[in-house]
Amino acid sequence: MNPQILSLEGVSQIYTSRGANGWRRVDVRAVDGVDLDIREGETLAIVGESGSGKSTLAKMLLMLNHPTMGQVTYRGSTLKTLGQEERSRYRRQVQAVFQDPASSLNPRMTVEETLGHVANRHNIVAKAEVRSFLAAQLAAVGLDPPEHYLGRYPHQLSGGQQQRIAIARAIMLKPKIIIADEPLSSLDVSVQSQILQLLSDLRRTTNVGFVIISHDLGAMQSIADRTAVMYKGRVVEIGEAIYRSPIHPYTRLLLDARLLPNPRGTRIRSPAPRSVAPAASLATEGGCRFLQRCPHAIEVCAAVDPQLRPMGVGATHVACHRAEELSAAPTPM
Amino acid sequence: MTVSQSHMPGAAEHLLDVRNLKVHFQVSDRTVRAVDGVDFHVKPAECVGVVGESGSGKSTLVRAISRLMPNLRVSELSGDLRFEGHDILGMSERDLRALRRSHGFSMIFQDPLGYLNPTHRVGRQIAEALTFHGKGRSDSQRVHSLLEEVGFSDPKSIAHGFPHELSGGMRQRVMIAIALASDPKLLFADEPTTALDATVQLQVLQTLYRIHKERNMAVVIITHDLGVVAELCDRVYVMQTGKVVETAGTVDLFERPKHSYSARLIELSAHRINFRSAGL
């Protein structure tokens, strides 16, 4: 097993906002006590619905935000206490790719300017060799012939090509980890599979690790070594086999909600409940935060907040009081 | 039924009949053929899917049909569009409005927040869509029953609230309620669940399906997600670069795709190619 490179210990991010009606200040725990180890060279997927805190987690890994509580450590040193030089090195070794490539590239800079700016800023190559260096980077992300793309502006490229430029910008610094926040969701399916292919090729050739934030479990299944499922700011299940043998009821719910291209499927056509319950209150004082949606809840779930614990087989950890019983039950898929 | 048969007299049984629709845009000195000679029809109470990737012309197709086109940049808009035999392209704004206001067609969109007025209460916005046929029950009673129909168990408090107080899935339900207010025979849904979480998407689609069945209302759903089409639609049109490349019953399309593009789309969304098992 590779050594761990990034680790989160009891990390929380609390945002303060005004309540829905009134002036009372309300604390929103976007991330609420997450422990997570990221190993060198691994691809870790973080999945969950909107509001689960996955993007907030990415921001903390990118040092765009510091956790309100807990700490993020990179190779043994806490991010918050890094000196200027170490901080700059961290920023080089941990790179980002975002959801919407069009808005993460400067519309007034050509590809050469965008990438050249980064190369010069970090002094990674002699001035005279910048152009040939950039050409090699473009070839590495599958933009061939590179000369064809260097002089172009982002709007002259397709979404998939733009995302390749964003990836080139990240990998040219030879990072240890790339944090990608929803890198696929603004792309068409055929382009998504090309980008997934590119990420998996890069992993093989450069040994870079990925933390990929996504709501698309299907895409993550094809690329992730490990997957963490987040719900309301917590990791509720993490492991290598969550797609084949999910344990947490929320993981099962997510997998079950996927619509596969099966014309004989009956999930939509099954008689729908006549009405949906109003959004459950967020208050789950003391108990499990999945309680209101859980079909398996028992008394203890309302009283005790379940902690992430190992499941014995494999590397799976689950935060559920009934994990043992549920893992013995047949999976819904 | 195949497209060629729609040219026969039997076409009168179609709720919507579109022949050789062309929509071209003028973009600087270039002509973009967004929709380029499309034949399309919808039978009463049928659920039809239109799938394709971005730029395939699927949204332009239904916008042209519902005459929601920005006239400014359209360099060509031609074809034969008939809704219950009425010529849509030649129709006056007044007649068109009547068609949208009662027993004609309605539309819902991907981003409900963009189509709801943030300063008006939800109930008022639904009532607005009712205005032209206020007979029998009061507006508020009808608003409440619409909200109940789209799945709200407490219609009163929803009607009294503002759009920002609702979640994404609830807003889309409100949009559906507004669309249903005119008692349409045909509902166009343009990527109705793309912005929603998977679990919420499933609930909204179940609701849409139930309403489609209960009201015997035809639905045209535009999506890039073949999973949605597979489970919801009776018939599918596959579009690529402004043309329909294949049309078939849903089961036929998914189990025996004829066009290579359809086959590829289905394969991609089915397994997302597992790279590691491919020996990498």
The CATH number of whichever domain residue A86 belongs to comes to 3.40.50.300
Asked if the Cβ–Cβ distance from B210 to A264 is below 8 Å, we say no
Pairing of strands A317-318, B47-51: unpaired
Which residues from B are below 8 Å from A264, CB to CB?
A: 251
Rounded to the nearest angstrom, the minimum Cα separation between B107 and chain A is 20
Per residue in B42-70, pLDDT tens? 999 999 999 998 889 998 999 899 888 76
Does a structural domain hold residue A222? Answer: yes
Asked which of B150-159, B198-207, B262-271 is least confident by mean pLDDT, the reply is B262-271
> Of all residues in chain B, what percent carry a pLDDT higher than 70?
89
Residue A20 is predicted with a pLDDT of 55
Nearest to A190 among B53, B230, B231 (CB): B53
Helix boundaries (H) for chain A:
54-61, 84-93, 101-104, 111-121, 130-140, 147-150, 159-171, 189-206, 217-221, 249-256, 299-303, 323-328
Q: How many domains does chain A have?
A: 1
Residue B52 contacts A where some CB pair is shorter than 8 Å: no
Q: Does residue B151 lie in a domain region? A: yes
Q: Is residue B131 part of a domain?
A: yes
pLDDT at site B131 = 63
Residue B3 pLDDT > 50: no
- B202 chain-A contacts, CB cut-off 8 A: 257, 259, 267-268
Only one residue has tokens 């309301």, namely: A232
Model confidence at B277: pLDDT above 60 = no
pLDDT of residue B105: 92
Reported confidence tier of residue B9, pLDDT bands at 50, 70, 90: very low
> Are A190 and B268 in contact (CB < 8 Å)?
yes
Does the residue B175 lie in any domain? yes
- Test B227 with A278 for CB contact under 8 angstroms: no
Phi, psi torsion values for B193, nearest 5 degrees:
-125, 10
Residue B214 lies in a domain: no
- The reported pLDDT for the residue numbered A127 is 87
Average predicted confidence (pLDDT) for chain B = 87
Q: Judge whether A329 lies within some domain.
A: no
Is A196's Cβ below 8 Å from some Cβ in B?
A: yes
- Tell whether B52 is covered by a domain: no
A102: containing domain = 4-239
pLDDT at B4 over 60: no
What does the alpha-carbon distance between residue A96 and residue A332 come to, in Å, rounded to a whole number? 36
Q: Is residue A305 part of a domain?
A: no
Select from B168, B198, B269 the Cβ nearest to the Cβ of A261.
Answer: B269
With respect to residue A20, please indicate whether it lies within any of the assigned structural domains. Answer: yes
**pLDDT score at B90:** 87
The minimum CA-CA distance between B35 and chain A, rounded to whole Å, is 19
Residue A315 has pLDDT above 90, yes or no: no
Say whether residue B53 is in contact with chain A using an 8 A CB cutoff: yes
Which range of residues forms the domain containing residue B149?
Answer: 118-181
Across the interface, whether the CB atoms of A278 and B154 are under 8 A apart is answered yes
Interchain CB distance below 8 Å, B151 and A275: yes
Please say if the pLDDT value at position A213 is more than 90. Answer: yes
Lowest mean pLDDT among A21-30, A136-145, A238-247: A21-30
pLDDT band for A278, please (50, 70, 90 cuts).
Answer: very low
Chain B environment of A215 (Cβ under 8 Å): 197-198
Q: Is B198's CB within 8 Å of A274's CB?
A: no
- B273–A274 C-beta distance less than 8 A: no
Distance from CA of B53 to the nearest CA of A (A): 6
Residue A179 has pLDDT above 50, yes or no: yes
Predicted confidence (pLDDT) per residue in B185-203, tens digit? 999 999 999 888 888 899 9
Give the Cα separation of A13 and B97 in Å (integer). Answer: 51
User: In this complex, which of B170, B270, B280 lies closest to A204 when CB atoms are compared?
Assistant: B280
Q: Is residue B240 part of a domain?
A: no
Chain A interface includes B267 (CB < 8 A): no
Helix pair A130-140, A159-171: axis angle to 10 deg: 120
Is residue B113, in this structure, part of any structural domain at all?
Answer: no
**What number is the average pLDDT over the span A259-270?**
81
Say if A154 falls within a structural domain. yes
H or E stretch including B267? Answer: helix B260-271
pTM of the model: 0.84
Residue A238: exposed, middle, or buried by beta-carbon count in 10 A (0-12, 13-18, 19+)?
Answer: buried
Residue A268 confidence (pLDDT): 82
Report if residue B123 sits inside a domain: yes
Residue showing tokens 């999930």: A267
B270: contact with A, CB 8 A cutoff: yes
Within 8 A of B207 by CB-CB distance, chain A residues are 272
Query: Which of A215, A269, A272 shows the shortest C-beta gap to B198?
Result: A215
Does any CB of chain A come closer than 8 Å to the CB of residue B148?
A: yes
- Are A193 and B231 in contact (CB < 8 Å)? no
Residue A261 touches partner B, C-beta closer than 8 Å: yes
- DSSP assignment, residue A185? T
Chain A partners within 8 Å of B226 (Cβ): 261
Rounded average pLDDT over B97-123 = 90
Q: Is B251 on the interface with A (CB under 8 A)?
A: yes
Count of domains for chain B: 1
pLDDT confidence band for A265 (50 / 70 / 90): confident
